[in-house]
Structure formats: structure tokens, C-alpha cells
């Protein structure tokens, strides 16, 4: 899955284990949910962690929602659900990997 390199230039906050934001494992790095964005450290600065690909999570019978047991994080105009080390988002009747 390709990730867009979009530097978050006005980001003075340092994310880490005690920063108060939800940490989400994402492939080979950790994203931090912050004000509706997902931030990741990259080469000494913070990037918006946004996939450039549409990746359908196939064979996902579980329905996410209130009380499903998975953490929900605000991501733009929708909620992502943290599940098995990645984020799922509802899209056109299926779940996408974010």
C-alpha cells in the first residue's frame, strides 16, 4: 500500500507513549490520531499518514460500530476502527484498510 508523503508543517507537538493521543500500529510504524488526522514520524518530521490506494479488506464479516470492542478514531469525516494492527473504514458496503 503506497502512502502519500504529505508533511504536516505546522506540527509542533511531539507524539509518543505519553502524549495523550491514541497510538495505532500501522504496518512498520505507529500513527497518532490527532484532531481528525493520522500523524506519523518520518525522517525527523511529522506526516499525514494517508494511503494513496483503495484497499478493500476482504473476508471481513465483523461489523464495526458502537460496542464492537475495537477502538474508534476520528479520521477526517468518518471513524476508523483499530482492528488487528490496522484501521478499518466503512466504504460502499464493505470495509477498507486505511
Residue 2: predicted pLDDT: 44
Strands in 1-98 per DSSP E: 3-7, 23-26, 29-34, 37-42, 45-51, 55-56, 72-75, 78-83, 86-91, 94-97
Nearest Cα to Cα of residue 96 among 32, 66, 48, 52: 52
Q: Using CA atoms, how far apart are residues 69 and 14, in angstroms rounded to an integer?
A: 28
Q: Using CA atoms, how far apart are residues 30 and 38, in angstroms rounded to an integer?
A: 9
Give me the residue label for grid cell 486505511.
98
Total number of domains in the chain: 1
Range of the structural domain that residue 74 is part of: 3-97
pLDDT per residue, tens digit, the chain (98 aa), is: 444 556 556 667 788 888 888 888 877 888 888 777 788 887 877 777 766 666 677 776 778 888 888 888 887 788 888 877 777 878 788 877 76
Strand pairing partners for 75? 78
Amino acid at each position: 500500500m503506497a502512502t502519500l508523503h504529505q508533511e504536516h508543517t505546522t506540527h509542533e507537538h511531539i507524539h509518543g507513549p505519553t502524549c495523550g493521543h491514541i497510538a495505532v500500529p500501522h504496518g512498520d510504524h505507529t500513527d497518532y490520531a490527532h484532531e481528525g488526522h493520522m500523524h506519523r514520524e518520518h525522517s525527523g518530521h511529522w506526516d499525514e499518514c494517508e494511503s494513496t490506494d483503495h484497499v478493500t479488506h476482504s473476508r471481513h464479516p465483523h461489523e464495526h460500530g458502537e460496542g464492537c470492542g475495537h477502538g474508534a478514531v476520528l479520521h477526517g469525516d468518518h471513524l476508523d476502527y483499530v482492528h488487528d494492527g490496522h484501521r478499518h473504514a466503512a466504504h460502499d458496503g464493505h470495509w477498507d484498510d486505511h
